[in-house]
């Protein structure tokens, strides 16, 4: 199984990059549709990070309980994937908050 294609956060980032490469297609969407699409993608990213964290915590618990099918390297890799996903999500949140504050501070 290819871990690069099974990572939901990476898949969503690739999908956004593909949309960014085709500006005419993204511009054809109405303003409400783009907002809905962005909201949906952001929600899916949050759910993906949540799944990564739950999976990592489940593997860690199984390892702590002595499950012979779970080894330490798998647990550590999954914990790092969850950590990177969460860090990326926090950075996106920070950028969105910064953009919102910039817009709110604009003089009319």
Domain carrying residue 9? 3-104
What's the confidence (pLDDT) of residue 2? 44
What's the confidence (pLDDT) of residue 5? 47
* The total number of structural domains that make up the chain: 1
DSSP assignment of 26-66, as one string? HHTS-HHHHHHHHHHHHHHHHHHHHHHHHHHHHHHHHHHTT
Place 68 in a pLDDT band, splitting at 50, 70 and 90: very high
Q: What is the pLDDT of residues 5-62, one digit of tens each?
A: 456 667 776 776 676 666 555 455 555 666 678 888 888 999 999 999 999 999 999 9
Instruction: Tell me the mean pLDDT in the region 92-99.
Output: 92
């Amino acid at each position: 199984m290819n871990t690069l294609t099974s990572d939901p956060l990476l898949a969503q980032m690739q999908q956004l990059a593909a949309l960014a490469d085709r500006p005419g297609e993204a511009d054809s969407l109405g303003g409400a549709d783009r907002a809905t699409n962005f909201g949906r993608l952001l929600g899916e990213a949050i759910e993906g990070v949540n799944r990564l964290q739950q999976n990592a915590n489940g593997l860690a618990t199984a390892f702590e309980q002595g499950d012979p099918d779970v080894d330490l390297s798998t647990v550590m890799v999954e914990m790092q994937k969850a950590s990177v996903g969460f860090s990326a999500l926090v950075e996106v949140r920070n950028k969105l908050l910064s953009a919102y504050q910039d817009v709110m501070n604009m003089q009319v």
